[in-house]
Amino acid sequence: MNRDELITYLDDYLRVKEIEDSSQNGLQVEGPEEVTKVAFAVDGCQVAFERAVATGAQLLIVHHGLFWDKPLRLVGPLFQRVKTLIEGGCGLYAVHLPLDFHPEVGNNAELARLLELKDTRAFGEYHGSTIGLGGALAPAIPLDVLVERLTRATGEPPVRVLAHGPAEVSRVGCISGGAAFLMDQVADAGFDTFVTGETSHSFFHQAAERGLNVVYGGHYATETLGVKALARHLEEKFGLETTFLDIPTGM
């Protein structure tokens, strides 16, 4: 497939130019004009770049790219990362917030689907967009059953579970990654349980005082879901060969 046609499709499908973000979403490092294989990873890191090149991919799509809200000098590890991509003939495409809350292949949409939530609705404001997705469990299920579903979905046990809410879970809000700071918005939206990625000491008492269950599934683990879903989408849409590069951090 022609690279520019693929990038145009991704930009439009993921609405990268419409969504405010600190990440410079879109094509970050230009690669070959023709793309037959696309690699996917959560993080734009040296090991991901080396493995993408080794698999013969002409494009690597990541959730956390190289370039954010300020200019960076191409020195040290950053220079080596870019050098690996250029010499290996592999481009880099980054999609951060647009992938978190995409209605079809987003991290939160995948969390809601895999947790078997019904009557889903968007909630929570961040950078001018509605970021979370929540829904109902009917009948309600024990908190540990929800945790088992999350473990099956991500392949990893949660980093931490704070059981400050009801033992029987019926209303679950999902925001992948490092979203503990949005805890008040989860509670205000009427959810009794919050599934997110990364834990923080700063919000422990907030969960307790709001009577909210919080399941920290892992920043990395909860954000493998969107890139995998996007890979499946591109396979079905264009017949491209894809590969997921699993580089867990345990966090």
- Residue 21 placed within a domain: yes
In degrees, rounded to 5, the angle at the alpha carbon of residue 179 between the alpha carbons of residues 8 and 228 is 40
- Residue 24 placed within a domain: yes
Give the mean pLDDT of the chain. 97
Residue 140 shares a structural domain with residue 199 = yes
**Helix, strand, coil distribution of the chain in percent, nearest 5:** 40, 25, 35
Give the whole-angstrom CA distance, residue 80 versus residue 74: 8
Residue 176 shares a structural domain with residue 163 = yes
Give the whole-angstrom CA distance, residue 119 versus residue 12: 27
Give the whole-angstrom CA distance, residue 155 versus residue 173: 20
pLDDT of residue 168: 98
b/e 18-30 (16+ beta carbons within 10 angstroms → b): ebebebbbbbbbe
- Residue 225 placed within a domain: no
Cα separations in angstroms, 97 against 42, 55, 164, 232: 13, 27, 28, 19
Give the whole-angstrom CA distance, residue 130 versus residue 56: 37
pLDDT of residue 205: 95
Question: Which residues of the chain are modeled with pLDDT < 70?
Answer: none
Residue 183 shares a structural domain with residue 115 = yes
18-235-4-40 Cα dihedral, nearest 10 degrees: 70
Range of the domain at 211: 101-220
Residues 24-71: tens digit of each pLDDT: 999 999 999 999 999 999 999 999 999 999 999 999 999 999 999 999
- Residue 238 placed within a domain: no
% of the chain with per-residue pLDDT over 90 = 98
Residue 173 shares a structural domain with residue 207 = yes
pLDDT of residue 197: 97
pLDDT of residue 162: 97
- Residue 244 placed within a domain: no
- Residue 105 placed within a domain: yes
Collect all residues with Cβ–Cβ distance below 8 Å to 131 and sequence separation of at least 6: 97, 100, 101, 108, 124, 125, 175, 179, 182
- Residue 186 placed within a domain: yes
Total count of domains within the chain:
2
Tell me whether residue 170 is exposed, middle or buried, using C-beta atoms within 10 angstroms of its C-beta: 0 to 12, 13 to 18, 19 or more: middle
The model carries a pTM of 0.96
Place of tokens 């491209």: 240
Residue 111 shares a structural domain with residue 214 = yes
